[in-house]
Structures are given as structure tokens and as C-alpha cells.
Amino acid sequence: MEKNKGKITKTKREEQLLEQIKNLYIGFRKNYIKMYYNKGMAKAKYHRPTWALHDNQILAHIRQKETIGIFAGQIFSKFICFDVDSPELKLSKHTTKALVVLLNHDYNISLDDIHVSFSGKKGYHVEIFLDEFIESNKMEHFYFDVLNNLGKLSEKVEIELRPLHTVGLKLPLSIHKQTNKYCHFVDNQTLRKKTDSENYFLSIEPMSKYYFEIEVLPDSKKINQVQFLNDDEKIESKKIINNINYKIDIESETKAILLVLKNKHLLYPNSRHNFCFKASIFLKEQGHDIAGTIGIMTDVLENTFKHHREMIDKSTTQEFALSELARIVKNTYDKNYIWGQTSKEIKIYKDELKEVLNINTNGKSLHLKKLALSTLIQSKRYASQNGIFYMPYSTMTKMGNTGSRGRLLQYLLYLEEIGFLEVVSRNEQTEGTYKKKANRYKVNISQEDGDEFIVLDLNSLEKYDFKDYIVALFTIDEAKEILTKSQFYDLGLAKLYKL
């Protein structure tokens, strides 16, 4: 009779929590675990029901009638959990805080993407959720690398990888059967209890899988040993490490993005999500604001739907694709995703800087030299194989040039006139719309190697001032010879060379 009662009625809040648990945690339903505890037992235990995980079991967990856990798939997973446990809560807290700091500082993971919950007894779950499935062996690789970098732990502390295909993970937001304590979320720095765990849980946005793969996962070639694991674990971790090589070539990715932007439509089937994420980082780094980035990428998607519909899954509507685009772009800007550690090395050579410094015209030469150097750096960083790159005015200003669009246009026109810069397209209107595309340029000077150069830190380009390049590559006599007297002193070079 019980089976014929029909669907269980859910409140709006329960429906929201159910969907968020499914979205963040559930990727494998064939098996799950239930927690149970009876008086006289030394500790709570788990058993596996013989049936698959159903939404009703998740709902019972949300209502705190059951406490369930889930497994990872054999090949893919949606998230990673570092299960921190010890006999002493104080020791678990200390280890959890250290782990969060390591993930944030050493792996460049935003604190917004690190979620910590109390296990219900004397431990914590530190979790990172992804917006797409990822190979489980990559998560194992990441786990071993993190533990290696965390250093030797107290013998009383364990940090276990969860979920596995063979070992489950208890979900949060229910009751630990032995302690009768609620498994709540905590602040990931202080570990203080969140005032409303359910609202916090509903606010979680998963991290981009593409960013995780590009910027977070360690390079397998750089890992030589796992210092503190036992012999069996060392062997297992090295197997995982040695069999993975998945780093993405950022230079080729950038060229692929430029090609899509040039053609104004997706070039490969089922590449929409990939393009949206990577192009949003690319355009953000070039200085576009959120609205500008969404506008440029909207043109690509709309044109794809109109003229190349076969490139996007039939079940995906244009309305859904554009709403997803807005979400992805906002997330990229909110969490400040960057290419960072995998970007190609950029060098500015002495002969290149000499050519920049030789640019001269009445009254504006210093401003022109600064802008010319900015375009050279942008070209080295983003130009496609044919030397063409995008550069909005906002990027020029961010790199230390004037904020006046009118003056920037004058300087660009002069650089074009003397042949330093070629303007490939300016104020070009996107077909069928009133929208303008970003201008495209090409630097027309020989970019040859030499013995004297400066290597740029791509994560801190804003810290470089024009004079820094001069002092780094020229002696004081060379600088005086190539610059006018007023330029030399206006830049404060006399004081810098004395230092």
C-alpha cells in the first residue's frame, strides 16, 4: 500500500535543496549508503541498500529522517572532498584551516570556490564543486599533489579523498546518527558555523571545470615524489601522476578563440560551453567589461544559431544559450579567472625598445612611445599567427596610457601613419546589428631575439612603468642619447639610475 501513495509533496525550499544537491553532488545513482547507529555500538556505521538512489531518499536526508552518502562514478566525478578527521576537534580545525590556505594561495582557488562543512563528529569536509564532470583520476592526482604540498601531518590526523567509486561520502545538511549533531556549513577561514547553512548551500556556484584543468591541476611533469605517504601510497600516486598529461596549450587556445571571433560563429559542434568560458577570460584580460564581453560573444552565438545551427545541440534553445553565456561571463569576472600560470613567457628585447623610443613627433612623443610599447606587449601576448590582435581602449588605459579616447585615437592614427602599427579593422559593425566589434591591430616592427631582454610577469603587468623598461635595458648614457633632456628628467630617470 505504501508504494501506491504517489509522489511525496515537497515545499519550495525542499525542492530547491533537492535540486542543488543533485546539481553539486549527484553523478552516480547505482549505489548509495545510509548511516545507522544503535546504543551500545562503538561508532555509527553505514550499509548499502540494494536499490538505486532515488530523489525520495535525498528528500528524507534533507528532512533529517535519514543520513545518506553518495559514491563517485568509476570514471567521472563532479566534485572533490578532502575529508579531514582526527580524534581531537582542535587538531581537525588546525589542519582544515591550513588546507584552505594552501588551496587558496598555492593553487589559486578563490575562497568563493572552497566550501567547508562540519562532519558531525570531530572533522570537516573541504569541497570543490565543478560545473561539468571531470575524470576521477585527475581528482586523485590533485589530491595526492595537495597532500604532498601540505607537508607531514600529525599521526592523529587523516585527510582522505572522497567520494570514490568504492567509498562513499556522507552528504551535509542532515544529522550525524551517533552524535545527533547537524552537519552544517562553516566559514572557510574561521570555521565558525554559518548562520543559515541552507541559504549558504543554495548560493554555491560550482567552479568552472575548464579553469580547474588549466589553472589549478598541477603539471604532472613537475611532481617527482610524494614524500610522506607510505610505500604503497607512493607507488599508487606515482602511477596516477605518470599516466596523466593534460595541460592545455594556452597559445593555441588563444588562436582558436581569435579564429571564432573573426568568423563570428562556432567552428566545431558542441563547443559552445568551451568557447564561452575561454573567450570570457580572453576578453576580460584584454580589458573588456562584462557588458562588452557579453556583447561580443552574443554576436557569435546569435550568428551561429542563425547560420550554423548544426554547431549547437538541437535541444539547446537560443534563449537558454544566451542566459548561460551571461552566467558564465559573470562568474568569470566575479571570481577573476585568469590564464595565469600557463601563459607563454613574454620578453621585451633591447632592439625592440630602441625602436619604440625612436618614435618622435612634436609635443606628444612620450605618450606615443608609451602607447607603442603597450601595443607591442599586447601583440606578443595575444596576436594570432598572422600577427593580428584585439586591443580595446580600456586596456590601453589600464596599461598606463591616457584615459581620453580622443587622444588615444590621435596617437593610434600617428602610429599607423609612421608605419609602426597597422589598424586591420576599426569601428567594424557586426553583420545584421548596430553593434561594433573590438578594433584589431598589427605591430609592424621586427620582433627578433637578442641577448638583452626583460621577462614580463603577466599576472602583474600593471606594476610596470614605462621607465622600468628603460632602466632595465639601457645604461644611463644610452638613455640620455636616445631620449630628449626633458623626457629623461620628466620620467625621473636620473634618480632611478642613481638608485
- How far is it, in rounded angstroms, from Cα 264 to Cα 371? 28
Q: How many CA atoms lie within 13 A of 34 on its CB side?
A: 15
Burial 402-413 (b: 16+ CB within 10 A, else e): beeeeebeebbe
Of the ranges 92-101, 272-281, 283-292, which one carries the lowest mean pLDDT score? 283-292
Q: Phi, psi (5° rounding) for residue 35? A: -90, 140
Write the pLDDT tens digit of every residue in 249-270.
556 677 788 889 888 999 988 7
Q: In this structure, what C-alpha cell is assigned to residue 364?
A: 606628444
**For the packed helices 272-285 and 250-263, what is the interaxial angle rounded to 10 degrees?**
100
Q: Which residue from 493, 498, 490, 495 is spatially nearest to 471, judged by alpha carbons?
A: 493
Task: Considering only CA atoms, give the Rg of the chain.
Answer: 28
| pLDDT higher than 80, residue 377 | yes
| pLDDT higher than 70, residue 384 | no
Q: Which residue from 289, 257, 226 is spatially nearest to 384, judged by alpha carbons?
A: 257
Residue 137 confidence (pLDDT): 84
**C-alpha dist (Å) from residue 220 to 82, 143, 162, 241:** 20, 13, 21, 5
Q: Which residue has the higher pLDDT, 437 or 314?
A: 314
In this structure, are residues 73 and 84 in contact, taking their beta carbons and an 8 Å threshold?
no
Which residues make Cβ contacts (< 8 Å) with residue 407, sequence separation at least 6? 367
Q: Which residue from 257, 260, 253 is spatially nearest to 304, judged by alpha carbons?
A: 260
Q: Which residue has the higher pLDDT, 170 or 278?
A: 170
Query: Any idea of the CA torsion for 378, 384, 388, 391, to the nearest 10 degrees?
Result: -40
What average pLDDT does the chain have?
Answer: 81
Q: What percent of the chain has pLDDT over 90?
A: 30
Q: Residue 60 — left, alpha, or beta (φ > 0 → left; ψ -120 to 50 → alpha)?
A: alpha
Residue 251 confidence (pLDDT): 61
Segment of 30-44, 111-125, 142-156, 245-259 carrying the highest mean pLDDT: 111-125
Residue 217 confidence (pLDDT): 78
Residue 258 confidence (pLDDT): 85
- How far is it, in rounded angstroms, from Cα 458 to Cα 241? 28
Residue 331 confidence (pLDDT): 80
Residue 201 confidence (pLDDT): 96
Write the pLDDT tens digit of every residue in 190-247.
999 999 999 999 999 998 887 888 778 765 434 333 444 555 554 554 454 444 433 4
- How far is it, in rounded angstroms, from Cα 8 to Cα 324? 31
Q: Phi, psi (5° rounding) for residue 336? A: 50, 50
- How far is it, in rounded angstroms, from Cα 423 to Cα 421? 6
Q: Which residue from 360, 332, 55 is spatially nearest to 210, judged by alpha carbons?
A: 332
Give one DSSP letter per residue of 2-49, joined into a string.
GGGG-SPP--HHHHHHHHHHHHHT-S--S-EEEEE--TT-SS-EEE--
- How far is it, in rounded angstroms, from Cα 46 to Cα 43? 10
pLDDT band at 18 (very low <50, low <70, confident <90, very high): very high
pLDDT band at 22 (very low <50, low <70, confident <90, very high): very high
State whether residue 81 is helix, strand or coil.
strand
- DSSP letter at 79 equals E
* pTM (two decimals): 0.55
Residue 392 confidence (pLDDT): 76
Residue 5's CB is within 10 A of a number of other CB atoms, namely 7
| pLDDT higher than 90, residue 32 | yes
- Residue 178 is which amino acid? Q
Residue 64 confidence (pLDDT): 94
Of the ranges 21-35, 270-284, 311-325, 457-471, which one carries the lowest mean pLDDT score? 457-471
> Quick one: which H or E segment has residue 283?
helix 272-285
Residue 474's CB is within 10 A of a number of other CB atoms, namely 21
Write the pLDDT tens digit of every residue in 115-144.
999 999 999 999 999 988 888 888 988 898
Residue 499 confidence (pLDDT): 59
Residue 149 confidence (pLDDT): 79
Of the ranges 39-43, 109-113, 293-297, 447-451, which one carries the lowest mean pLDDT score? 447-451
> Quick one: which H or E segment has residue 238?
helix 231-242
Q: What is the mean pLDDT of residues 327-344?
A: 68
In this structure, are residues 108 and 200 in contact, taking their beta carbons and an 8 Å threshold?
no
| pLDDT higher than 80, residue 322 | yes
| pLDDT higher than 90, residue 449 | no
Residue 389 confidence (pLDDT): 76
- How far is it, in rounded angstroms, from Cα 155 to Cα 169? 22
Residue 160 confidence (pLDDT): 93
Length of the chain: 499
Residue 254 confidence (pLDDT): 76
**C-alpha dist (Å) from residue 361 to 369, 469, 470, 492:** 10, 21, 19, 21
E strand residue ranges, 119-263: 123-135, 158-162, 169-170, 185-186
Q: Phi, psi (5° rounding) for residue 65? A: -85, -30
- Residue 176 is which amino acid? H
- How far is it, in rounded angstroms, from Cα 36 to Cα 44? 6
Q: Which residue from 207, 187, 185, 200 is spatially nearest to 334, judged by alpha carbons?
A: 207
Q: What is the mean pLDDT of residues 6-33?
A: 88
Please tell me whether the peptide bond between 163 and the residue prior to it is cis, using omega within 30 degrees of 0. yes
| pLDDT higher than 60, residue 429 | no
Q: In this structure, what C-alpha cell is assigned to residue 146?
A: 595537495
